[in-house]
Structure 1
């Protein structure tokens, strides 16, 4: 499931490529025909992400709410203007759970292209959400030439698979597949939806968000490993970030929230704030600190080198050597070290 950093990256991509433009909408799959008809021909006015949900506003006080869930993805094609605020120092735009786009590698292509993919062929320029295979054309900025896939000759691109919603501008296409939620909302309904969500460090005032988070966790008897996945407690944390935040806090996942020391709860919030910002910038759920340049490059290229415990069941803890435990908590896989986290 895409975690909070991915949805914020999606929102920024829509901000760069759709806001201020008239949009043609359709539902090739047929499951969102009426909604698409109401959107089509309107101008996209604004976009916002809160946790794992994105809200795209159209003129006439009409909002599109999308929650990708476990299997949803946005596939982009055409000219994709990339928000420079989410390009990392090494040029990488990879999202750790995406399949990449086959882009041309002409000698005059921007140098940026060489770093788009990690070793699994993943990026978030063209597909963000559940793993997809897509093709696209990427324009890194208004000053650079288009980077064009050598087989992209048809516009708009042909529909592939079960596309719930297609949003088209003159030059950019976004196809939505497999979302948990795709619906139109009024401004009041949007506010009601957001009001049910826990604080998001990139949306809420950080200090106010911290106080909300601390107050909620400290009154709950629920295990902290479940609370971090509860979107009414805190927005955006998924399975990867849950495991990594708990390890970084050296905290047993089964500890009731009300028994976690207040200062430690505050440290978890601040750590989440930091990791979320890194994830938005790099597109990678990088959770290891103080890596030398070689180790950092290796971690950026291989997901198995960028986490402390996630996806390391049975392997030795990177610190103490104890085998990492895998168990089910909240119907999701939880990875943790029983020696360090006690």
Structure 2
């Protein structure tokens, strides 16, 4: 399942392609015909995300709600000149197509695809925890910690719980716990408030780079090199390197101890057996 930065990046692509236009909306697959009819010929105002939930606001207070789930994909692509009049041919099972003469966005395999009103949007967002990629009024870390500090579940479970923190997936949970030397199997109620603040601030720092580059960055040297290149106006290819994620049996980059793994919350968890001790 895509992590939150992917949804924010996708929302930005939809915004760039269609905000302020009146695109055609259709359901080539036929499973979203009624919903597409409500949006077709209606002005698209903006796209935005909260955690792993994607919303596209249209005129007349109508919002398209999409949850990609495990297999959903939504690609936003420019239309080739030869397809400008009729649009590119449909490939595969396309649940939803948003298109104009310049861009086409095809949605395949989502877990949820619905037209909802503003009351339902508010309800969906209220069920989520705070999103490190959303503007913060200063209460987001406290809101998340209130849920963590009352729980006997492990930190690894809590970070994957979207009602605790929205948008964090398996890679970010493994890496941010490693970065702060926290054992992933310790209970949430044992976590100090100051330790949680460090984790939250790190997510706020790291996740926007995932939006910018399309790649999760968790190593400081990679982040520094990438930031320097961006300051120069360059857009380098970011190496897919991590501290512990998918490094089972390999030495920890910090202390040299063996990286361990265990299935937690349905996903393979990775941590260092040396510098992430329970105590």
Question: Paired residue for 1:302, among 239, 251, 257?
Answer: 239
Give the equivalent residue in structure 2 for 1:166. Answer: 97
Report the Cα distance in structure 1 between the residues aligned to 2:88 and 2:76, rounded to whole angstroms: 10
Give the equivalent residue in structure 2 for 1:18. Answer: 18
Tell me, what secondary structure is at the counterpart of 2:160? coil
Does residue 161 of structure 2 align to residue 235 of structure 1? no
How far the C-alpha of 1:154 sits from its partner, in A, is 2.7
Give the equivalent residue in structure 2 for 1:274. Answer: 205
Give the equivalent residue in structure 2 for 1:258. Answer: 189
How far the C-alpha of 1:192 sits from its partner, in A, is 0.6
**Deviates most, 206-215 or 175-184:** 206-215
Does residue 44 of structure 2 align to residue 44 of structure 1? yes
Question: Paired residue for 2:264, among 329, 333, 341?
Answer: 329
Report the Cα distance in structure 2 between the residues aligned to 1:2 and 1:193, rounded to whole angstroms: 18
What do the CA deviations read for 1:146-199 (whole angstroms, capped 9, x no partner)? xxxxxx733411111111100012211000011111111111000010011100
Report the Cα distance in structure 1 between the residues aligned to 2:136 and 2:242, rounded to whole angstroms: 28
Q: Is the 8 A contact 1:5 1:276 kept in 2?
A: yes
Give the equivalent residue in structure 1 for 2:106. Answer: 175
Give the equivalent residue in structure 1 for 2:82. Answer: 153
Q: Is the 8 A contact 1:213 1:269 kept in 2?
A: no
How far the C-alpha of 1:293 sits from its partner, in A, is 4.7
How far the C-alpha of 1:75 sits from its partner, in A, is 1.4
Q: Is the 8 A contact 1:71 1:179 kept in 2?
A: yes
Report the Cα distance in structure 1 between the residues aligned to 2:16 and 2:114, rounded to whole angstroms: 22
Q: Is the 8 A contact 1:77 1:157 kept in 2?
A: no
How far the C-alpha of 1:314 sits from its partner, in A, is 1.6
Question: Paired residue for 1:312, among 244, 247, 251?
Answer: 247
Structure 1: state its 5+ residue gaps: 80-136, 138-151
How far the C-alpha of 1:301 sits from its partner, in A, is 4.3
Aligned residues: 267
Does residue 126 of structure 2 align to residue 195 of structure 1? yes
Change (3 A) 1:326 1:206: farther
TM-score, length-scaled by structure 2: 0.90
Report the Cα distance in structure 1 between the residues aligned to 2:16 and 2:36, rounded to whole angstroms: 21
Root mean square deviation of aligned Cα: 1.9
What do the CA deviations read for 1:285-329 (whole angstroms, capped 9, x no partner)? 0000034759x99x94431xx210111112111122222112100
Tell me, what secondary structure is at the counterpart of 1:207? coil
Q: Is the 8 A contact 1:223 1:254 kept in 2?
A: yes
Tell me, what secondary structure is at the counterpart of 1:226? helix
Does residue 178 of structure 2 align to residue 247 of structure 1? yes
Report the Cα distance in structure 2 between the residues aligned to 1:267 and 1:213, rounded to whole angstroms: 13
What do the CA deviations read for 1:105-148 (whole angstroms, capped 9, x no partner)? xxxxxxxxxxxxxxxxxxxxxxxxxxxxxxxx6xxxxxxxxxxx
Tell me, what secondary structure is at the counterpart of 1:290? helix
Tell me, what secondary structure is at the counterpart of 1:13? helix
Report the Cα distance in structure 2 between the residues aligned to 1:300 and 1:310, rounded to whole angstroms: 19
